[in-house]
A and B are shown apart, each in its own frame.
Chain A
């Protein structure tokens, strides 16, 4: 009997209690009406209730979700341990979920990957910088060396770029091409090549590679199921071949690749076989499904530079040192300039005659302002102490008279123009003059000095008046001269013209100096006689003798009589004169000279 199929809306498939109760009621009704139904109910009643329970669980999505969630982790773990199908199945769903999540809230993803983003970027930047430095290093190393010239010639001969020749010589290895070839047909599924090479037609190359494989396998059969692994041409070129059930991967490598390179290709091929196993198995010549493998294969196009090529070029060192020096100079220069500027300002501050009130930089230009004595030279002109070009600094000076002793002295020197025989000293606002000077200059000094800023008093005690000195000296010389007379004659003895000339010159000089210095002088010509004869006679004769000399001087030497006095000396006069004042030298018939400076002395002499 065909089992009765549950109908839509049948109480059997309902999931709620009311429907379950309705089912029981219907069953009871059936039982009441149908003895078979009663029998069926007796036999399968408990199972039917269980079925209702199971159906209820299946129809309730919440309950089903709860049940699945309890077994899902274990299911994933078991599936992942068995093979990669779960990962493959979840991949697109996770991609889609990730895209949706990013579209809805990008910040969440940013926050999640932030901890790895920084290190990742740093690593990438470091790798790029390292590559740049290596490239620069290699270029520098080869640009000017003998080896570099040789390679440049090689590049010219072979019509290849110099960079390519350098790369070839410095490479430990370079994966130039990778072919992914279908195992059964020998047709190339995907091919990638380094930008530095001009690849041949990959279809022809892959076909020939496949033919070579077939040839080797046919010609040199082995007991084990082996295949061609490497083709080598010379020391520098090889083709590394990795096999999988449906494809083989051939990498054309220049140089000597590391052993682990084969492992890299093996993993790459295993991955391709895993992902494209079905496509490879059913391959009928359509290569379109394998187009997405291009980027994956390109990951294998790497190279490694020989370790000696990683040696740092001396030129790079030099460049680095120069760069560091330049950098150091750029850093040091402003510091140094600032230090010089501060030193310069401090020097100015300590310099007499300058008071700095403000300084600094304004719109990049240095400026300094304050008070400056005009006697102080402009600081910007003193190049040995000024660190900058004069045009780089702006000075704003207000003139003033400094009270600094050095500057006061300088001002005194400038204004008084002293003779070389005069030296100044300045202390406690008192200007002291030492040495000797003319009477006129000393007068000028006395008039002017105390009007100079900073000088409050003067001291000339040690300053000698040269004109006064000359007056005294002339008077002394005149006093030493004696004019001799014959016996009883008022006229001098012959042959004394030279002495009389000296007398004339001396008196003229004394008169001139007297006028110049303002010192009143009185020149006394004293006539003398011998004791013989009468007192009256001798008085007259001595006076005549003095007068005759004066007359001679006036007449012959042009002496003006002002300030000149003649005396005749007699025994009475001698008796009245103190002993120490008597002229007792030489002949008694003579005329002597005396210069008096004040009336008291004149009176005494008289």
Chain B
């Protein structure tokens, strides 16, 4: 049995927990509950012929008052950086977390999720900002925890990257 640790990173209220719930439990709730510390969930996926347990560490969102503990990232095989498409500052937070993570645990497989695609008309994200990350090989997914769009695909993509 293969087990892989994944960390969900991003600014507060970008929808990390909602994405995890959608992926793991196939549910969505409009009620916002801030994550304190870390939530851990598990989902079994199949990559090729390999059955993989994804242990998903849903870390609390980073803001002006609290920063993500890099020790939580230790041993992670992959990261998911979540950006709220309706708040352009959340990309900067994600980029900052990416930089901190790389310096803490090195370069590991990762994907970027531009969340809340169900509110795409309200997006204020400039796609050009993603180019540097795309150039170094990161995949970007426009997701919606509410509708489930691209959520499964994003996690599967990361799983494939991790299992190699």
A134 to B79, CA, bound (A): 53
Q: Is the CB of B5 within 8 A of A187?
A: yes
Which residues of B11-62 are within 8 A (CB) of A?
37-38, 40-42, 52-53, 55, 57
> Is residue B136 contacting chain A, with contact meaning CB distance below 8 A?
no
Surface stretch bound by B, among A52-60, A283-291, A432-440, A527-535: A283-291
> Is residue B157 contacting chain A, with contact meaning CB distance below 8 A?
no
Chain A residue with Cβ nearest B162: A285
A26 to B4, CA, bound (A): 70
Among the listed A203, A217, A218, A286, which residue makes an inter-chain contact with B55, where contact means beta carbons less than 8 Å apart? A203
Among the listed B3, B4, B37, which residue makes an inter-chain contact with A211, where contact means beta carbons less than 8 Å apart? B37
A199 to B75, CA, bound (A): 24
Surface stretch bound by A, among B66-74, B115-123, B148-156: B66-74
> Is residue A207 contacting chain B, with contact meaning CB distance below 8 A?
yes
Distance to closest chain B CB from A225 (angstroms): 14
Q: Please give, as numbers and ranges, the residues of chain B lying within 8 Å of A204 by CB-CB distance.
A: 40-42, 55
A284 to B5, CA, bound (A): 10
Range of interface residues on chain B?
A: 20 to 34
Chain A residue with Cβ nearest B1: A287
Q: Please give, as numbers and ranges, the residues of chain B lying within 8 Å of A203 by CB-CB distance.
A: 3, 40, 42, 53, 55
Q: Is the CB of A211 within 8 A of B76?
A: no
Chain B residue with Cβ nearest A186: B75
Q: Please give, as numbers and ranges, the residues of chain B lying within 8 Å of A285 by CB-CB distance.
A: 2-5, 52, 77, 162
Residues 72-112 of chain B, each 1 if its beta carbon lies under 8 Å from chain A, else 0: 10111100000000000000000000000000000000000
Q: Please give, as numbers and ranges, the residues of chain A lying within 8 Å of B37 by CB-CB distance.
A: 211, 215
Interface centre among A182, A188, A203 (most CB of B within 10 A): A203
Which residues of A188-225 are within 8 A (CB) of B?
188, 201, 203-204, 207-208, 210-211, 214-215, 217-218
Chain A residue with Cβ nearest B42: A203
Q: Please give, as numbers and ranges, the residues of chain B lying within 8 Å of A201 by CB-CB distance.
A: 42
Q: Is the CB of A185 within 8 A of B53?
A: no
Which residues of A412-465 are within 8 A (CB) of B?
none
> Is residue A184 contacting chain B, with contact meaning CB distance below 8 A?
yes
Q: Please give, as numbers and ranges, the residues of chain B lying within 8 Å of A214 by CB-CB distance.
A: 69, 71-72, 74
Which residues of A154-206 are within 8 A (CB) of B?
182, 184-188, 201, 203-204
Chain A residue with Cβ nearest B70: A218
Range of interface residues on chain A?
A: 20 to 34
A472 to B108, CA, bound (A): 155
Q: Is the CB of B74 within 8 A of A184?
A: yes
Q: Please give, as numbers and ranges, the residues of chain A lying within 8 Å of B162 by CB-CB distance.
A: 285
Among the listed B1, B72, B74, which residue makes an inter-chain contact with A286, where contact means beta carbons less than 8 Å apart? B1
Q: Is the CB of B40 within 8 A of A207?
A: yes
Q: Is the CB of B74 within 8 A of A211?
A: no
Q: Please give, as numbers and ranges, the residues of chain A lying within 8 Å of B55 by CB-CB distance.
A: 186-187, 203-204, 207
A265 to B3, CA, bound (A): 25
Q: Is the CB of B1 within 8 A of A185?
A: no
Given A182-B75, A185-B77: A211 touches B57 (CB 8 Å cut-off): yes
A284 to B75, CA, bound (A): 9
Q: Is the CB of A187 within 8 A of B3?
A: yes
Distance to closest chain A CB from B157 (angstroms): 17
Distance to closest chain B CB from A287 (angstroms): 5
Chain B residue with Cβ nearest A287: B1
Q: Is the CB of B71 within 8 A of A218?
A: yes
A207 to B74, CA, bound (A): 11
Q: Is the CB of B77 within 8 A of A215?
A: no
Distance to closest chain A CB from B34 (angstroms): 17
Q: Is the CB of B71 within 8 A of A288?
A: no
Q: Is the CB of A217 within 8 A of B1?
A: no
A218 to B76, CA, bound (A): 17
Q: Is the CB of A208 within 8 A of B3?
A: no
A207 to B82, CA, bound (A): 21
Distance to closest chain A CB from B107 (angstroms): 16
A288 to B72, CA, bound (A): 25
Q: Please give, as numbers and ranges, the residues of chain A lying within 8 Å of B3 by CB-CB distance.
A: 185, 187-188, 203, 285-287
Could you list some 19 contacts between A and B, CB below 8 A? Answer: A184-B74, A185-B75, A186-B5, A187-B5, A187-B75, A203-B42, A203-B55, A204-B41, A204-B42, A204-B55, A207-B55, A208-B38, A208-B40, A211-B40, A214-B71, A284-B77, A285-B3, A285-B162, A287-B1
A→B interface (CB under 8 Å): 182, 184-188, 201, 203-204, 207-208, 210-211, 214-215, 217-218, 284-288
Given A185-B5, A203-B40, A204-B41, list of 14 further CB < 8 A pairs? A185-B3, A186-B75, A201-B42, A204-B40, A208-B38, A214-B71, A214-B72, A215-B69, A217-B71, A285-B2, A285-B3, A285-B4, A285-B5, A285-B162
B→A interface (CB under 8 Å): 1-5, 37-38, 40-42, 52-53, 55, 57, 69, 71-72, 74-77, 162
